[in-house]
Structure 1
């Protein structure tokens, strides 16, 4: 029994050490999920902060352009990054947390454009119908796996979702891939006179979950992830996660 107790204390020690320091996390301006201008920093920021708070760990969230935020976590210069879609194959140097809810994501076009997209239960019935169309994506984002991997598709990369949406409105791309809630938030904030010009193609291609990711190269990565997952389970069990979903309108 004494040996088991000792092993338990040794296993818990790194988590206690984490509780004595502040973790630094990188993210981006991605309303309604993350933004310095939103209450609680946005929905995803509120979830991540609440999960760490549930295990007595303080976090500081720093906002960067996505490519910079991703570079920092890959280099191990921050303790973690959020929110990220789940795709370990495209992020082999990162560890993924347990999931928390996100919103729908899919293709968006100008309402006036008549594009030959045939939708089944899970999105377009094969991406050959997108050939010849210019598809706007954000550099460094994880999108639909086929949009990221099909070499025959014509991709046009933007620095962020706002620029991508601006390109669509200007007719510089035929379609963009974007989280639907992000598209609606950006339209309300930056393009209020153009909201009726945009069509969110239904059904969405994805209903992705969101994740915290941590760099494998950091010695404390597994402990950071373990602490977050434990905190996430606590706020899921006590109802706080659902309250955050409802409060932020997901």
Structure 2
């Protein structure tokens, strides 16, 4: 075949693919615009979350003493997502285990941000797209670095994690088998202080979360991150809708959330929101 003809066919095929992608995006955008005018017949939905900077910032209200959600990457994404589908909502900040239990019991419509793990899929439905991507790293006191390539390198060590968080099935299986000891704390700053005090040997958590906290606490010169991550960067944080919650038109709600969140990834909204914090 003539190379010029082949090149023209490839160019035409590429243009057709791009054209199809643009049409699909415009169609999705039009759906979300229509849905804003067609609010589902249900009252405001309660979503639950936990303090997890820079994704979720919870602060204690001076008047009530209750933790309230102020801002964050995932909070801003949720705000825009629910605006696009025209659905009223509220967010309650709780310790992570309590947040999960509220969704499990149907007392809350949804929870974020959480890993997609089989155990949780028994009581909730994850959206197709994540709220953010990330990876887990090991943080140590500077000067106390050690070689890390596999979980075997953690043998005999005390590893700090967030209470109620899931790292990987292999990590938790190794801990259960007694290879290393897991110490739980409720917030990143608590684990970092334990690390500096020598009460744990390493701390594993979301790379961006810990770096943000380290910067905020002025610990950049005292904390080091090991080169090899515990988990590779991947879709890591999702909004999950409760199976037990009594929601009107739940299937349509999930369909709309999926469509409009996908649109937000496609049109650059998620990237722009993330860039404001990192």
Does TM, scored on the shorter chain, surpass 0.5? yes
Give the whole-Å Cα distance in 1 for the aligned partners of 2:95 and 2:272: 29
Residue 86 of structure 1 pairs with residue 90 of structure 2: no
**Structure 1 residues without counterparts, runs of 5 or longer:** 1-12, 118-123
Aligned ranges 1:156-167 → 2 under 5 Å: 156-167=183-194
Aligned ranges 1:68-87 → 2 under 5 Å: 68-87=98-117
Q: What corresponds to 1:5 in structure 2?
A: none
Residue 197 of structure 1 pairs with residue 227 of structure 2: no
In structure 2, the residue corresponding to 1:167 is in which secondary structure?
helix
Deviation at 1:232, TM superposition (A): 0.2
**Change over 3 Å in CA distance of 1:130–1:161 after alignment to 2:** same
Aligned ranges 1:15-94 → 2 under 5 Å: 18=40, 20-36=42-58, 41-89=71-119, 91-94=121-124
Deviation at 1:130, TM superposition (A): 0.9
Kindly indicate whether structure 1 or structure 2 has the higher relative contact order, using CA contacts under 8 Å at least 6 residues apart: 1
Q: What corresponds to 2:140 in structure 1?
A: 109
Alignment partner for residue 201 of structure 2, among 166, 174, 177? 174
Contact 1:105 1:208 (C-alpha < 8 Å) held by counterparts: no
Instruction: With the length of structure 1 as denominator, give the TM-score of the two structures.
Output: 0.81
In structure 2, the residue corresponding to 1:195 is in which secondary structure?
coil
Deviation at 1:109, TM superposition (A): 0.9
Residues 21-57 of structure 1, C-alpha deviation per residue, up to 9 Å, x if partnerless?
2111111111100014699710011112211211111
Residue 186 of structure 1 pairs with residue 210 of structure 2: no
Contact 2:125 2:240 (C-alpha < 8 Å) held by counterparts: yes
Contact 1:52 1:227 (C-alpha < 8 Å) held by counterparts: no
Q: Which runs of 4+ in 1 moved over 3 A?
A: 16-20, 36-40, 219-224
When structure 1 is superposed on structure 2, of 216-225 and 162-171 the one drifting more is: 216-225
Deviation at 1:135, TM superposition (A): 0.8
In structure 2, the residue corresponding to 1:112 is in which secondary structure?
coil
In structure 2, the residue corresponding to 1:106 is in which secondary structure?
strand
Give the whole-Å Cα distance in 1 for the aligned partners of 2:209 and 2:226: 14
Q: Kindly tell me the number of residue pairs found equivalent between the two proteins.
A: 228
Give the whole-Å Cα distance in 1 for the aligned partners of 2:229 and 2:173: 19
Contact 2:145 2:226 (C-alpha < 8 Å) held by counterparts: no
Pairwise CA RMSD: 2.6
**Change over 3 Å in CA distance of 1:138–1:36 after alignment to 2:** closer
**Change over 3 Å in CA distance of 1:43–1:96 after alignment to 2:** same
Deviation at 1:211, TM superposition (A): 0.3
Q: What corresponds to 1:9 in structure 2?
A: none
Q: What corresponds to 2:168 in structure 1?
A: 144
